[in-house]
A and B are shown apart, each in its own frame.
Chain A
Amino acid sequence: MTDPISRDDVAHVARLACLSLTDQELEAFTGQLADILSHATDLEALDLTGVEPTSHPLPLVNVLRPDVPGEPVDRDEVLAAAPSVEDHQFRVPPALGDNA
């Protein structure tokens, strides 16, 4: 089906997932992920032509509640849980510009 997951693949998905790995971790994870994915090769033998995918066990449609105003979650309580706050906003290091 597909080539086994490589060290470069793992380094790539780690970047996509916003994780940084040491060389040692990269090595260990590559072996483990290859092992787990090799288990999924039993799916290769299956003929799945014409089978529709299931993303969810219930036949769900969008649910809308009546538009009745309620009490919102307390803003100060939400902000109190954040690591850094300024003027009722979440504060982060530079995201744009020379330093970002």
Chain B
Amino acid sequence: MSALELAAAIRSGERSAVDVLEEHLAVIDAREDEIHAFNLVMVEQARREAADVDARLAAGEELGPLAGVPVALKDNMCTRGVPTTCSSKILAGWKPPYDATVVQRLAAAGAVIIGKTNMDEFAMGGSTENSAFGPTRNPLDTSRVPGGSSGGSAAAVAAGFAPLSLGSDTGGSIRQPAALCGLVGVKPTYGRVSRYGLVAFASSLDQIGPFAATVADAALLLEVISGHDPLDSTSIAEPAPGLLSVLDQGVEGLRIGILDELSGHGVEGISPDVLARLDAAVEALTAAGATVERASVPATVYGLSAYYVIAPAEASSNLSRYDGVRFGPRTDGATTNEMMMATRTEGFGDEVKRRIMLGTYALSAGYYDAYYGKSQKVRTLILKDFAEAYEKFDLLISPTAPTTAFPLGDKTEDPMQMYLQDVCTIPSNLAGHPAMSVPFGVGDDGLPVGVQILAPAMGEATMFRAAAVLEKSGGAQ
């Protein structure tokens, strides 16, 4: 049952929120040991919330659009009084003193928060193997990764632990796991969704977005969490976009560009079976009345290089706050400095250390202009080239990830190979544009392939129309 159907059944009294929750908890009981999607299943709190929804509905109260629907949260979103770890030892046991804005909006919509999901530590990774609490496995094939960094949120929906979840996307961390788990995953326009209470990784790139099994469910969840928030100074002063209302509008007359630089021409490692699914998506969109042509956004070829300077640079600054003084565990030292060094050395995993050092280096005297300064200029070129492409096209499409889900351990020894997973998703983060992954069939190994739809800033509604067409075309099977 989709989240929309569940919500309707609960609202009409056909199902109770408590029953719906218990059904999902039973699925978690049966498979969570094998999948490890969660850092924490919030059993008691979720039961209280579900019972509350039932009581209020029985009393005739008008509840929000997600009333009684279980939602899983990536473990980098603050939940008051409930551990929020970012899958890092350095935040083990930390209980935030406030709720993230998205958590407040979910509560206001009547959602039942079912748990906090596993992730690559501080959202740094593409496989959820960088978690201090062990990897998450892909529910479709447990020898494979679910993608990352929001792998726990993707696995939770793919395994039927929750119909909806939230992830965060800094370089592809929602879209790539959505593709690898056969789900819809959306990175909204930068500023669309408040980041108040999202633990910061790279502040000029991070954005929260939904995972769902269907395009309509993703639209529903994104409508609930979008909109201006005075607590986030980067929040766009616009109301939430109407998405559910546009899903049946089709793509007749839309101009869609196949993003050349991300579709096989000179892109490292994009697999032929993934490109074959992109071709099938082009056929489906053309059949539905869109004009599809090849499009060029030349500077996107430099996206990966620029990203792996900019994101670590911002992370090295954001993560300086973890020093054993105000929160999290402390490793003792004779002096404050020794204590801080021991705490950070003990608390951070290798990938986080790697990125902190990379960012510190890229920002240090003598290297700043060569790396960080140059990367910021490349970002300008990417924005300019996208703007030119969007003069001719309403939307762009590309693969989401270069391959289907890969085996655990495949890329853990070679960070650069892992980073290449993000090659198609990074440009939208650098530009601040929305992009989403829609499942569109399977590769040679029978595992899901995602097609990425990219739109200009604030272009979510048009993007969702194309996603709905792909879903309806039947090519997803």
Contacts and interface: CB of A to CB of B under 8 A. Distances in A.
Contact of B383 (A33, A39, A54): A54
Contacts of A53: 373, 376-377, 379-380
Nearest to B417: A35
Contacts, number: 172
Given A40-B308, A54-B379, A1 B336 contact: no
A91 B349 CA distance: 26
Interface in B352-371: 353-354, 356-358, 360-361, 364, 367, 370-371
14 contacts: A10-B357, A17-B316, A18-B320, A19-B341, A29-B353, A32-B416, A39-B304, A43-B305, A53-B377, A81-B328, A93-B333, A93-B335, A94-B334, A95-B336
Contacts of A55: 204, 376
B132 to A, nearest CB: 16
Nearest to B419: A36
Interface residues of B, number: 73
Contacts of B338: 93
B97 interface: yes
B15 interface: no
Interface in B301-332: 301-302, 304-306, 308-309, 316, 320, 323-330, 332
Contacts of B309: 40
Nearest to B235: A63
A51 B380 contact: yes
B288 interface: no
Interface of B: 81, 94-98, 190-191, 204, 230, 233-234, 236, 301-302, 304-306, 308-309, 316, 320, 323-330, 332-342, 344-345, 348, 353-354, 356-358, 360-361, 364, 367, 370-371, 373-381, 383, 415-416, 419, 430-433, 457
B325 A82 contact: yes
A81 B92 CA distance: 11
Contacts of A58: 190-191, 234, 236, 432
A46 to B, nearest CB: 7
Dominant SS at the B interface? helix
Contacts of B333: 93
* For the complex of A and B, 5 pairs with smallest distance between CB atoms: A57-B432, A53-B376, A83-B330, A95-B336, A77-B97
B327 A81 contact: yes
B305 A32 contact: no
A43 B362 CA distance: 14
B370 A1 contact: yes
Given A13-B361, A18-B340, A57-B432, A65 B325 contact: no
Contacts of B306: 43
A67 interface: no
A17 B360 contact: yes
B337 A33 contact: no
Contacts of B230: 65
